[in-house]
Chains A and B, each alone.
Chain A
Amino acid sequence: MDEVLDEVVPTEDLKKYEKVYHEQLSSGNITQKAQFEYAWCLVRSKYSGDIRKGLILLEELFHTDKEESKRDYLYYLAIGNARIKEYNKALQYVRGFLQIEPGNHQVHDLEVVIKRRMEKEGLVGVALTGGIVLGIAGVVGLALALAKKK
């Protein structure tokens, strides 16, 4: 399962979707499809700068796109944050997601992988306090608002 955090986007794919996105950017009409495809590649880059860029694009999509797509953005926000070792944030997105879909095995698996990494890197204590405090105010709130709208 660690593979979902370790696999790296092929450079030519990143370039391809980057080009589409930038073309749309300069013509002033960015589709959600192009933005998502580019962001999905960015968060699988080996450079943390790319991943951070991808996270910004995903957050924007999360706030603007339709309800049914939000699960995709939450999931990749968790993946991207975990990849740059922002484990607490990643877990907030995971928990936010599981508020909406408690039984989702894909996201449960991701949670297991993230926690194992934190343990390996000696970050477990930090996770418990930080996660809860920020979690309530942050993503979980968003997710709850989302669930109510359904």
Chain B
Amino acid sequence: MSVGPYNYSYIFKYIIIGDMGVGKSCLLHQFTEKKFMSDCPHTIGVEFGTRIIEVSGQKIKLQIWDTAGQERFRAVTRSYYRGAAGALMVYDITRRSTYNHLSSWLTDTRNLTNPSTVIFLIGNKCDLNAARDVTYEEAKQFADENGLMFVEASAKSGENVEEAFLETAKKIYQSIQDGRLDLNAAESGVQHKPSQPGGRNTLVNDQTASKDSCSC
């Protein structure tokens, strides 16, 4: 906890969505803590995680909202979609129903975010290949038809987890460079924070909000 102050030039807001039990919280935890939680309770409402990454030499702070998949949270978690620069949409390759629900998650995402929001589809639990219920090819086709980025990943082994979070950030960063994403738009999901000279960043009071010690 003694490390800060952090220097980063951008903040990107992400959301993670998908049916309950597909592994959203485990993916987040694997990304922020590099650990797998084998016995993870259902998220209540939303969880939050953060990590600083680097894209093209720029430090970017990811602020990630991991939403609960249980139905009773569905309505209110929609508040968190607003202003997301990236959306990770997750299904479980061993449970077909979670794949079948993707179009409904996608509709919500499209309706509640903006056209520049990067949507990344993740087929999680690819370590359980023997129990596979959704083929790679059909999911890839679904992703292509809908203009989504796509990987199969495993929060357990860590395979492709980094990639999904980082590729999303690269794509967002590209949109900024191309001018497709307007930094001044209220709900772009991106904030630009020019680094302070001397490293002391007194304007940003979230120095403590970064790497949280997690007790699990």
Chain A interface (Cβ < 8 Å from any Cβ of B): 1-4, 9-10, 13, 17, 33, 36-37, 40-41, 69, 71-72, 75-76, 101, 103-106, 108-109, 112-113, 116
Contact = CB atoms under 8 A, between A and B. Distances in A.
A2 B209 contact: yes
Q: What secondary structure prevails in chain A residues at the interface with B?
A: helix
Contacts of A33: 72
Interface string B17-45: 00000000000010000000101110111
Contacts of A116: 208
B55 to A, nearest CB: 22
A40 B75 CA distance: 11
A67 B209 CA distance: 33
A2 B209 CA distance: 6
A3 B62 CA distance: 13
Contacts of A72: 44-45, 72
A66 to B, nearest CB: 11
A108 B215 contact: yes
Contacts of B50: 1, 3
A71 B76 contact: no
B213 A112 contact: yes
A37 B75 contact: yes
Given A33-B72, A105-B40, 5 more contacts: A9-B79, A13-B79, A36-B72, A109-B47, A109-B214
B1 to A, nearest CB: 9
Contacts of A104: 41
Nearest to B80: A7
A75 B45 contact: yes
